[in-house]
Chain A
């Protein structure tokens, strides 16, 4: 429709506001409280305009356009009003621009400039200094606050952390946290959304203070290196010191829409840390590391690899790729192992997190990835979250789930041994005994079938083998009463869950390691697939089976074939057609023997069949189960090469250490949890002689006598397009700002937001009859507790990155969660130092006594080298996926008597 602004005819779309129409037509209306994410708040009264035929001035941020509307934004009357409002704001706060962090990026400054206000003209009583610096990451200066309400809107309605509020009224109005608690002590999780939304200098990044003003900082868009959500970041770089000063989230980015978590926004210190590896290191005859040149190091590695091949055959070397490097790096890595070494012994830490997902979903649907996308989360009527502490491990997805609940779009069911933060938003929360998942899901299916709530048409037309499933789940042992005994979930609650979930028009399941890291991991995943097929929830927006991937590029590393049984894009090494495809493409004959998994590599080293190990960006010392066993294996490795950004615990044991670049220093692509391929952009120079992973791999390949000729990383992307059908259309030039979701088979394909739309990848969805099995190790009199492991919000994985940030370390320290009941029984008090013991070893850590964990279960985050949870875990693996059972072992706790 047409409207007239300042005498010019402008196009506006129906439903739009006057402010946004003006903006789209390049007409500036000063405004303060409006932000396109938080929407019109109508609080600041700065965006007032004159509209013909309406009485008085109108606030343009919440005034919808009408056909033929005649608007004036720049008359003396309008400007005088705007000036008065801004003048009052300036007069009633402490707005000194000289040393303010926001200087140059301040919206109050911008409107004052536009309105030509030189200094405030009202002599109001000076505001009292009201500073809150108790938070690790956020600095609050209320005397700069203009009460626009954006932070409140963001905190409550975008990230849904529900901490900030307005308190008092009139002149006394101010922002407070919870009910008048200092920010650092409040329930604030320091995601920094409020900082990002604050138009002035009232909420700022504490650690960026005085490190560079906005115009001195160059902005580079890239992808977060932590979990698999794939948040787009803007790095603010001070070129003079080659450092990241602050990070903001990219507004409107598909995965995060500007949101970030504490790690993504504030956990970047590792990039510029003084302990970064800067030169290749070779262990000398005295066992000490010595600096070397790249040529020496590469020559040494190539010679050693070739010697091992000559002496022990080409199956005596294995490689661990990385879920933290780009698709291109991983592609090069598996190519090195397959083509130059000549076996399929390549695996990576996806083995330890979602190998059971890949195995289970591939069997059920034909493709083992998250079926649906992030933006449609709120299209599910009911969201079942199980075995995932989403708020800690995938905070931005958790924000979207919470928002769906608060907006009344979705209901949440949480089934988790820990009463996770999302349980507070749940319609129903049930605590199951760790390891009883199959029983619980089978019981839900029994109830659904008994009550006729299953989607009969869907089962008929889209699936097969339903009768087998039915025969299994209808057994009496899965009756609610029996499952109550087995899992601890009350029968009545099981009824309620089954009814709520089955009756939803669309139901989605989100899960993570709590489902996969079991000896029955594949069974658990298949059970979830069963449940979703039974309810007809696959192949539609908002539904699906949604395994949340835990590392920035774990999806990509799998897609690139860093798995012992598949080439890139899951083409089987045992399939002669795939094999000859790659043999032709790489002009070399390849092995058709399935290679070894991580856990098998560890064992084979101890057995003596694997002699050489090449590890890129992984730290098995901390991440793998049964630490003493892992260490024994690493120590026994005849020739160990570790390529990393830091001297990790694993690198300490290496023969050669190769310095690599971080996410902030390189380009390439990450594939996030929803299969979205997104671009990294280099922002910094890598320190010293550190190189990109693919470059190092190419050097080794060529030193071994090959003829790789990648001039730039783009050449690898192009090769991936050529060999991986699902990536064929995801070319370098097409990725763009939004990225593309595979499968994307051609260059004009738009990408695939959700899988299995009209048919499953394998044709019909396959039901599996799954029998409940107990975990490998159950509690007994000597080890009476069930120990389970996981992450906390502020730390990441083995801590190589997150633990370089002091702020994160101050918040999240080693601990063991123990229930109030168990703690009282053992007279253990909160924060008391205790010993946790299993059959594999013992650690000392602090007790965290809480109601959020059920009686009989303890929970230990695995990030800490000084209290390594994986010294305690068991190396029992799922028979299909070989994933270790991190989530259940028997343990005891004892007090430390000093």
Chain B
């Protein structure tokens, strides 16, 4: 595939052109790239490095350092389970277990229909709602039952 002909790369190229002038634009560009491609495969990292004229090892280091970036394709919806202290005490491990059972995947995995990815994060700062999970940018608090989780999943299934 010639990257220049690909519309996704075209979009990324435009983003880089616009961001390039700013100081230290790498992290923002990677965020935008992940939004465009859904994840950051090596190929995309090399493209960013070339366009910014920086070594590819620098890009790779940043991508693997931050939790926000992923090199594996993710599901359409990413379910982040907060495992901060408050949520942990209020039952985060149980939520992980229940969600794993409901979706049939382990932490870090994606369902075969590419709809959900299950990940754990450190504190999301909503301790008063503990235990909390965040799906994309929406958060759900005080989760106690399997039923609640099932409802959340179904709600997203219906959106497709």
The interface of chain A, by Cβ under 8 A from chain B, is 156, 162-169, 176-180, 424
In the bound complex, CA of A295 to CA of B64 (Å): 69
Q: Are B60 and A162 neighbours in the complex by a CB distance under 8 Å?
A: no
Looking at chain B, what size class is its interface with the partner chain? 10 to 19
The interface of chain B, by Cβ under 8 A from chain A, is 42, 45-46, 53, 55-61, 64-65
Q: Are A165 and B42 neighbours in the complex by a CB distance under 8 Å?
A: no
Q: Are A179 and B65 neighbours in the complex by a CB distance under 8 Å?
A: no
In the bound complex, CA of A176 to CA of B55 (Å): 13
Selected from A166, A168, A178, the residue in CB contact (under 8 A) with B56 is: A178
Q: How far is the CB of B42 from chain A (nearest CB, A)?
A: 5
Selected from A169, A176, A179, the residue in CB contact (under 8 A) with B46 is: A179
Given contacts A179-B45, A179-B46, contact A162 B61 (CB under 8 A): no
Given contacts A168-B65, A169-B65, contact A180 B55 (CB under 8 A): no
In the bound complex, CA of A163 to CA of B56 (Å): 8
In the bound complex, CA of A176 to CA of B58 (Å): 11
Query: 6 closest A-B pairs (Cβ-Cβ)?
Result: A162-B55, A179-B60, A165-B57, A165-B61, A167-B64, A168-B64
Q: How far is the CB of A412 from chain B (nearest CB, A)?
A: 12
Q: Are A167 and B60 neighbours in the complex by a CB distance under 8 Å?
A: yes
Q: Most chain-B Cβ atoms within 10 A of its Cβ — which of A165, A166, A168, A169?
A: A165
Query: Which residues of A are found within 8 Å of B65, using beta-carbon distances?
Result: 166-169
Q: How far is the CB of A197 from chain B (nearest CB, A)?
A: 16
Query: Which residues of A are found within 8 Å of B58, using beta-carbon distances?
Result: 156, 162, 165
In the bound complex, CA of A168 to CA of B63 (Å): 8
Query: Which residues of A are found within 8 Å of B46, using beta-carbon distances?
Result: 179
Chain B residue nearest to A173 (CB atoms) is B65
Given contacts A156-B55, A162-B55, contact A180 B42 (CB under 8 A): yes
In the bound complex, CA of A389 to CA of B59 (Å): 27
Query: Which residues of A are found within 8 Å of B55, using beta-carbon distances?
Result: 156, 162-163, 178
- Given A165-B61, A167-B61, A179-B46, 9 more contacts at CB 8 Å? A162-B55, A162-B58, A163-B55, A165-B60, A176-B61, A176-B64, A177-B57, A179-B56, A180-B60
Q: Most chain-A Cβ atoms within 10 A of its Cβ — which of B45, B55, B57?
A: B57
Chain A residue nearest to B53 (CB atoms) is A424
Chain A residue nearest to B67 (CB atoms) is A169
Interface pairs (10), CB distance under 8 Å: A162-B57, A163-B57, A166-B65, A168-B65, A169-B65, A176-B57, A176-B60, A177-B57, A179-B42, A179-B45
Query: Which residues of B are found within 8 Å of A168, using beta-carbon distances?
Result: 64-65
In the bound complex, CA of A424 to CA of B53 (Å): 8
In the bound complex, CA of A156 to CA of B55 (Å): 9
Query: Which residues of A are found within 8 Å of B53, using beta-carbon distances?
Result: 424
In the bound complex, CA of A424 to CA of B52 (Å): 12
Query: Which residues of A are found within 8 Å of B61, using beta-carbon distances?
Result: 165-167, 176
Chain A residue nearest to B59 (CB atoms) is A179
In the bound complex, CA of A176 to CA of B71 (Å): 15
Given contacts A156-B55, A162-B55, contact A178 B64 (CB under 8 A): no
In the bound complex, CA of A177 to CA of B58 (Å): 10
In the bound complex, CA of A168 to CA of B53 (Å): 23
Query: Which residues of B are found within 8 Å of A169, using beta-carbon distances?
Result: 64-65
Query: Which residues of B are found within 8 Å of A178, using beta-carbon distances?
Result: 55-57, 60
In the bound complex, CA of A178 to CA of B60 (Å): 7
Chain A residue nearest to B42 (CB atoms) is A179
Chain A residue nearest to B66 (CB atoms) is A169
Query: Which residues of B are found within 8 Å of A167, using beta-carbon distances?
Result: 60-61, 64-65
Query: Which residues of A are found within 8 Å of B45, using beta-carbon distances?
Result: 179
In the bound complex, CA of A166 to CA of B64 (Å): 9
Chain A residue nearest to B50 (CB atoms) is A424
Chain B residue nearest to A172 (CB atoms) is B64
Query: Which residues of A are found within 8 Å of B57, using beta-carbon distances?
Result: 156, 162-165, 176-179
In the bound complex, CA of A177 to CA of B42 (Å): 13
Query: Which residues of B are found within 8 Å of A176, using beta-carbon distances?
Result: 57, 60-61, 64
Query: Which residues of B are found within 8 Å of A179, using beta-carbon distances?
Result: 42, 45-46, 56-57, 59-60
In the bound complex, CA of A23 to CA of B57 (Å): 34
In the bound complex, CA of A54 to CA of B53 (Å): 42
Q: How far is the CB of A319 from chain B (nearest CB, A)?
A: 49
In the bound complex, CA of A378 to CA of B146 (Å): 65
In the bound complex, CA of A156 to CA of B65 (Å): 18
In the bound complex, CA of A424 to CA of B56 (Å): 13
Query: Which residues of A are found within 8 Å of B42, using beta-carbon distances?
Result: 179-180
Q: How far is the CB of B100 from chain A (nearest CB, A)?
A: 22
Query: Which residues of A are found within 8 Å of B56, using beta-carbon distances?
Result: 178-179
Query: Which residues of B are found within 8 Å of A165, using beta-carbon distances?
Result: 57-58, 60-61
In the bound complex, CA of A163 to CA of B49 (Å): 13
In the bound complex, CA of A242 to CA of B42 (Å): 47
Chain B residue nearest to A163 (CB atoms) is B57
Chain A residue nearest to B57 (CB atoms) is A165
Q: How far is the CB of A175 from chain B (nearest CB, A)?
A: 10
Q: How far is the CB of A173 from chain B (nearest CB, A)?
A: 9
In the bound complex, CA of A156 to CA of B58 (Å): 9
In the bound complex, CA of A424 to CA of B61 (Å): 21
Chain A residue nearest to B71 (CB atoms) is A180
In the bound complex, CA of A180 to CA of B41 (Å): 11
Chain B residue nearest to A168 (CB atoms) is B64
Q: How far is the CB of B4 from chain A (nearest CB, A)?
A: 14
Q: Most chain-B Cβ atoms within 10 A of its Cβ — which of A164, A178, A424?
A: A178
In the bound complex, CA of A642 to CA of B46 (Å): 52
In the bound complex, CA of A179 to CA of B55 (Å): 10
Chain B residue nearest to A161 (CB atoms) is B55
In the bound complex, CA of A156 to CA of B61 (Å): 13
Q: How far is the CB of A41 from chain B (nearest CB, A)?
A: 15
Q: How far is the CB of A689 from chain B (nearest CB, A)?
A: 51
In the bound complex, CA of A167 to CA of B56 (Å): 12
In the bound complex, CA of A176 to CA of B63 (Å): 13
Query: Which residues of A are found within 8 Å of B60, using beta-carbon distances?
Result: 165, 167, 176, 178-180
Query: Which residues of A are found within 8 Å of B59, using beta-carbon distances?
Result: 179
Q: How far is the CB of B72 from chain A (nearest CB, A)?
A: 13
In the bound complex, CA of A147 to CA of B61 (Å): 14
Q: How far is the CB of B126 from chain A (nearest CB, A)?
A: 23
In the bound complex, CA of A424 to CA of B59 (Å): 17
Q: Most chain-B Cβ atoms within 10 A of its Cβ — which of A167, A176, A177, A179?
A: A179
Q: How far is the CB of A748 from chain B (nearest CB, A)?
A: 47
In the bound complex, CA of A167 to CA of B45 (Å): 14
In the bound complex, CA of A178 to CA of B63 (Å): 12
Q: How far is the CB of A384 from chain B (nearest CB, A)?
A: 19
In the bound complex, CA of A177 to CA of B65 (Å): 15
Chain B residue nearest to A425 (CB atoms) is B53
Chain B residue nearest to A179 (CB atoms) is B60
Query: Which residues of A are found within 8 Å of B64, using beta-carbon distances?
Result: 167-169, 176
Chain B residue nearest to A164 (CB atoms) is B57
In the bound complex, CA of A832 to CA of B46 (Å): 28
In the bound complex, CA of A165 to CA of B59 (Å): 9
In the bound complex, CA of A164 to CA of B60 (Å): 10
Query: Which residues of B are found within 8 Å of A162, using beta-carbon distances?
Result: 55, 57-58
In the bound complex, CA of A162 to CA of B61 (Å): 12
In the bound complex, CA of A165 to CA of B46 (Å): 14
Query: Which residues of B are found within 8 Å of A163, using beta-carbon distances?
Result: 55, 57
Chain A residue nearest to B40 (CB atoms) is A179
In the bound complex, CA of A162 to CA of B42 (Å): 17
In the bound complex, CA of A179 to CA of B58 (Å): 8
Query: Which residues of B are found within 8 Å of A180, using beta-carbon distances?
Result: 42, 60
In the bound complex, CA of A177 to CA of B55 (Å): 11
Chain A residue nearest to B43 (CB atoms) is A179
Q: How far is the CB of A203 from chain B (nearest CB, A)?
A: 15
Query: Which residues of B are found within 8 Å of A424, using beta-carbon distances?
Result: 53
Chain B residue nearest to A166 (CB atoms) is B61
In the bound complex, CA of A363 to CA of B12 (Å): 55
Q: How far is the CB of A326 from chain B (nearest CB, A)?
A: 40
Q: How far is the CB of B120 from chain A (nearest CB, A)?
A: 14
Chain A residue nearest to B49 (CB atoms) is A179
In the bound complex, CA of A162 to CA of B65 (Å): 18
In the bound complex, CA of A135 to CA of B61 (Å): 21
Q: How far is the CB of B119 from chain A (nearest CB, A)?
A: 15
Q: How far is the CB of A153 from chain B (nearest CB, A)?
A: 13
